[in-house]
Amino acid sequence: MATSVRFHDDLQPAGPSLRDAALAGLAATPKAIAPKFFYDRRGSELFERICQQPEYYLTRTEEAILAAAANDLAGRVGQGGELVELGSGASRKVRLLLDALRPARYLAIDLSTDFLLSSTQRLAADYPWLEVSAACLDYSQGLRLPGEFTLTRPLLFFPGSSIGNFAPEQALAFLQHLHALLPAGGALLVGVDLPKDKAVLEAAYNDAAQVTKAFNLNLLERLRETLACDIDPSRFEHRAFFDEAESCIEMHLVSREPQEVTLEGRTFRFEAGESLLTERSYKYSVEGFTALGRRAGFVPAAVWTDPQRLFSVHLLRREAPGA
């Protein structure tokens, strides 16, 4: 009976620190910082509030798809295997799968340590039959699983359209990496946002309650609070728009005026209207993502969508060589 979470604190995220990423990102042209740096505890809490906004169709649609597909999924991947969630956040969507899949073990991976711990503790309390582990790792830097977490019949779960935060060629490389990590018979369940009407997409990232704006600006609060940085979030505005040619939402923080910002002893200039790119979110058609999965070596096993075709969930399988 699970009473606590096994936290793998021997593992540490690889890759650049917030400090190094911010220094490099402010020196770059155009200025940019990866979306994974949104997620301190406040960033994770704000993301949960975004999920509740009426314009943000992604979460409720993916949840409805998962709830409807859970038994079908269990019939395809079987029960009693290992379930590994990448970017587990509140570990809420996984609850829709647990009763059907009855995995032996669940491993939650997320960069937002405090949030990861509290979310998995709540999960372990609610599912006493489940062995729950947590690891604070950066999945984008080459996924290393805890040594004793052997994958025999694993399902990797990557919800939330987070695959869209990689540019398509990076997404392919990441899918290839996950394919190589899986043993034959293992599978990946991945949530992918679909292209749709520009107004619907742009509303999702510009909610009326301005929670996405607060989430975006929180990145600057994080720089100010955790680094030697004098950036003033009130001198930036939130901008999110859909680039139809790239099938991608871009999110920016735009300087309201010419200004200089100091970070860790270095000075960076922003012109009026100059922006810091904080997120890209690529949208894929069902056919487009299926083709990407195939290119990565996966065999497409199933895809579920909602009746309005807002969102998709793909099951990709690693087959035995020669199968």
Closest CA to 244 of 203, 286, 283: 283
| Pick 13 or 186: Cβ nearer ligand SAM | 13
Residue from 81, 103, 154, 160 touching ligand SAM (CB under 6 A): that is: 160
| Pick 112 or 218: Cβ nearer ligand SAM | 112
Residue 52 phi/psi, 5-degree rounding, is -90, -5
DSSP 89-118: TT--TTHHHHHHH--SEEEEE-S-HHHHHH
| Pick 142 or 273: Cβ nearer ligand SAM | 142
Six-digit token string for 137: 């790792």
Per DSSP, 177 falls in state: H
Say whether residue 88 binds ligand SAM (CB under 6 A).
Answer: yes
| Pick 88 or 255: Cβ nearer ligand SAM | 88
Which among 83-91, 172-180, 224-232, 242-250 is the span making contact with ligand SAM, rule CB under 6 A?
A: 83-91
Shortest CB 207 distance to ligand SAM, Å: 15
Which among 138-146, 174-182, 211-219, 240-248 is the span making contact with ligand SAM, rule CB under 6 A?
A: 138-146
CA atoms within 13 A on the CB side of 166: 18
Q: How far apart are CA 284 and CA 262, in angstroms?
A: 38
| Pick 17 or 152: Cβ nearer ligand SAM | 17
Q: Which residues contact 287 (CB under 8 A, 6 or more apart)?
A: none
Shortest CB 279 distance to ligand SAM, Å: 9
Site residues for ligand SAM, window 32-71 (CB under 6 A)? Answer: 36, 39, 44, 47, 59
**For ligand SAM, how many residues bind (rule: CB under 6 A)?**
19
Shortest CB 111 distance to ligand SAM, Å: 4
Contact in structure between 102 and 77 (CB atoms under 8 Å) = no
End-to-end CA distance of the chain: 38
Q: How far apart are CA 288 and CA 194, in angstroms?
A: 10
Six-digit token string for 8: 């793998």
Q: How far apart are CA 138 and CA 313, in angstroms?
A: 23
DSSP 45-61: HHHHHHHTSTT-HHHHH
Say whether residue 87 binds ligand SAM (CB under 6 A).
Answer: yes
Virtual torsion, Cα 124, 180, 33, 212, nearest 10 deg: -40
> For residue 262, how many other CB atoms are within 10 A of its CB?
12
| Pick 139 or 304: Cβ nearer ligand SAM | 139
Residue from 7, 57, 139, 304 touching ligand SAM (CB under 6 A): that is: 139
Residue from 19, 45, 70, 138 touching ligand SAM (CB under 6 A): that is: 138
Residue 41 phi/psi, 5-degree rounding, is -60, -45
Binding mask 95-134 for ligand SAM (x = CB under 6 A): --------------xxxx----------------------
Contact in structure between 69 and 52 (CB atoms under 8 Å) = no
Shortest CB 48 distance to ligand SAM, Å: 8
Binding mask 264-293 for ligand SAM (x = CB under 6 A): ------------------------------
Closest CA to 56 of 271, 201, 192, 177: 201
| Pick 51 or 261: Cβ nearer ligand SAM | 51
| Pick 62 or 255: Cβ nearer ligand SAM | 62
Interacting residues with ligand SAM (CB under 6 A)? 36, 39, 44, 47, 59, 87-89, 93, 109-112, 138-140, 159-160, 162
